[in-house]
Homo-oligomer: A and B are copies of this chain.
Amino acid sequence: MGTTCGLTIDPIYRYVRAIVICVILLPCIQLSLGAKTRHFKWEVEYKYWSPDCIENIVMAINGQFPGPTIRAKVGDTINVELTNKLSTEGVVIHWHGIRQTGTPWADGTASISQCAINPGETYTYRFKVDKPGTYFYHGHLGMQRSAGLYGSLIVDLAEGEKEPFYYDGELNLLLSDWWHKNTHDQEIGLFTNPFRWVGESQSLLINGRGQYNCSLAAKFSSNTSISQCKLRGTEQCAPMILHVLPNKTYRLRLASATSLASLNLAIGNHKMLVVEADGNYVQPFEVDDLDIYSGESYSVLLTTNQDPSNNYWLSIGVRGRLPQTPQGLTILNYKPNSASKLPISAPPITPNHKMLVVEADGNYVQPFEVDDLDIYSGESYSVLLTTNQDPSNNYWLSIGVRGRLPQTPQGLTILNYKPNSASKLPISAPPITPVWNDYNHSKAFTNKILALMGTPKPPVNHDRRIILLNTQNKINGYTKWALNNVSLVLPPTPYLGSIKYGLKNAFDQKNPPENFDSINYDVTKPPVNPNSTYGNGVYMLGFNTTVDVILQNANALNANVSEIHPWHLHGHDFWVLGYGDGKFSAENDEKKLNLKNPPLRNSAIIFPYGWTALRFVADNPGVWAFHCHIEPHLHMGMGVVFAEGVDRLSTIPNEGLTCGLTGKKFSGQKN
């Protein structure tokens, strides 16, 4: 197998055809002449690290967290020899946003494009980068991305090519979220009945750096319990300061590898001009702040046109998730008042009643009086309550969560206008993140993203339309996510091998459902029948056909809950034809789809109770995951698998297929 200029060629004719093709495609030759192969030798292992000033364990590459940044030029070949130095776990790395044209085996998705690399073994990822842009890479097995297996991948234009915008310098920010509970424990919770959820992340990280036990901006906070960070700058959690010169234009490359969080990014006093999304140019538009969902990347231009005697904040904050567990409340009804009479004051901050603690865990204790009582999991108490307050009122009894930050604090760093000292704090508080559920703000931003003129346009018609209803479900009491009532469970044999070799026992050969009962299903209510089924079938796409996917959001298991899901497609960019509220209607919504200048992307979100329409051409032989990029959601089944033109791949390297039924086949066993 040989790959030349992005085309796959039969080995026997390789030499001759390569010459013919490259002579015909002159620009291609020019690229190839300047192109390099960039070699990397990486070792993945766990390492103690303090991403947010609290020591924990991260997945490191060559001892670094985040992993090393790959920087290449269009036309280059990336060659990463990845050695698994873990003790018991497999590992893979996915090159997020790279389409892997002609090299689907290098996509780095366990169970889809390859077997996980076993401990002690080395697998070589070798692929071309054919489009400039801001990308990243990350683990794609279990919760290894959440564990810190990620890094930046930046593709510059080929020598002599020019970006459609000007900038003086560049800053590269990889955003992520971070938990103190280890990812193995988090993952087991997902597969437990009743479901156990880790909750919101403890920290947000910018280039792997955050601060949990202090704040860079404490002096601007009304919360006096947060201390001002005193960092020397050499700590693993010290912020990466963004050094800039006044009156220049900088390209900020942003990518979100978060496990869960939807983020909003803002820079104090500065506007940003959005110019790139997911490795595609967009019609430039100016914003005060920017939403970035897991799996997305952007470039924004920042002009340092503010008072040069100050420094400024860059902040990221969580969007789209209720920031804290609300208090539990009941009413202490002083009879004969009506129980429905609300207390006259707010739930206790300064309570009216004292309590006398007399028993703990079945043992009498020396009685002592308290205003409030901490009660931890597994504990029991008896307290004596004397109803000695104004009998004309009722009173609140409240419980609230302790010992956990009520919400994930903002991630912060400083935009340092030189020659100011980097340690000079900005003069005002960091930008405030918009309210978590201000979806109008988010939609306004999303709707501004349109393709730059000259971007390829989508085919006018689709050959096939797959409608995917996104629902939260139950299977045997376990909480799952499902598409058209099928919750994805990946098989042990990678699809790329089982399809290529026709191993029909490797996965369900029936096509998964193309639609749901859209007439009767009420997307605004919890599912009437929440029971779902496991599945691992594949959407077999006709080669070179145009495929529409309508992602249809719905209500989750609890009433009045519908979450944002950022969907990511491997092996392709798609056109985002439009977003809408409620149930997608071919009749009403079809004509509103944007076929004029829809943005090309590899990631798109669905808003609560809304739909999103995507279109792509199935022109890349391989098997490709399409899934919610929230890591726990994917593991709870929120993904589907597309396959196209696998029969056109003359050779698939067996190196990545020595597991499952392909492994059995190679070793001469019966499948």
Taking the closest CB of chain B, its distance from the CB of A72, in whole angstroms, is 27
Bound-complex Cα distance A87 to B89 (A): 9
Taking the closest CB of chain B, its distance from the CB of A368, in whole angstroms, is 19
Taking the closest CB of chain B, its distance from the CB of A227, in whole angstroms, is 7
- A29-56 CB mask vs B (1 if < 8 Å, else 0) is 0000000000000000111100000000
Interface, chain A (partner B; CB < 8 A):
45-48, 57, 87-91, 111, 115-116, 118-121, 141-144, 182, 184-185, 187-188, 191-192, 196, 227, 230, 361-363, 490-492, 635, 654-655, 657-660, 663-664, 666-669
**Beyond A48-B192, A185-B182, is A118–B666 a contact (Cβ under 8 Å)?**
no
The residue on B at minimum CB distance from A46 is: B188
The residue on B at minimum CB distance from A655 is: B669
Q: List 10 A-B contacts (CB under 8 A).
A: A87-B142, A87-B143, A87-B635, A88-B91, A88-B144, A111-B120, A115-B118, A120-B492, A121-B660, A182-B185
Bound-complex Cα distance A655 to B661 (A): 10
Interface of A is mostly: loop
Total copies of the chain: 2
Bound-complex Cα distance A182 to B184 (A): 9
Q: Given B118, B142, B187, B362, which contacts A659 in the complex, CB threshold below 8 Å?
A: B118
Q: Other than the known A48-B196, A121-B659, A658-B658, what 11 A-B pairs have Cβ atoms closer than 8 Å?
A: A57-B188, A88-B116, A88-B142, A89-B90, A90-B90, A118-B492, A118-B659, A118-B660, A230-B362, A654-B668, A654-B669
Residues B658 and A667 in contact, CB atoms below 8 Å apart: yes
Q: Given B144, B188, B663, which contacts A666 in the complex, CB threshold below 8 Å?
A: B663
Residues of B within 8 A of A654 (CB): 667-669
Residues of B within 8 A of A144 (CB): 88
Residues A659 and B660 in contact, CB atoms below 8 Å apart: no
The residue on B at minimum CB distance from A53 is: B378
Residues A116 and B119 in contact, CB atoms below 8 Å apart: yes
The residue on B at minimum CB distance from A227 is: B363
The residue on B at minimum CB distance from A83 is: B492
Residues of B within 8 A of A121 (CB): 492, 659-660
**Quick one: which of A111, A118, A142, A144 has the most chain B CB within 10 A?**
A118
Bound-complex Cα distance A361 to B89 (A): 39
Bound-complex Cα distance A142 to B84 (A): 14
Residues of B within 8 A of A363 (CB): 227
Residues of B within 8 A of A635 (CB): 87
Residues of B within 8 A of A89 (CB): 88-90
Taking the closest CB of chain B, its distance from the CB of A403, in whole angstroms, is 16
Residues of B within 8 A of A57 (CB): 184-185, 188
Bound-complex Cα distance A57 to B187 (A): 11
Bound-complex Cα distance A381 to B143 (A): 39
The residue on B at minimum CB distance from A141 is: B88
Bound-complex Cα distance A663 to B657 (A): 9
Residues A118 and B116 in contact, CB atoms below 8 Å apart: yes
Residues A664 and B659 in contact, CB atoms below 8 Å apart: no
The residue on B at minimum CB distance from A187 is: B87
**Quick one: which of A120, A196, A363, A660 has the most chain B CB within 10 A?**
A120
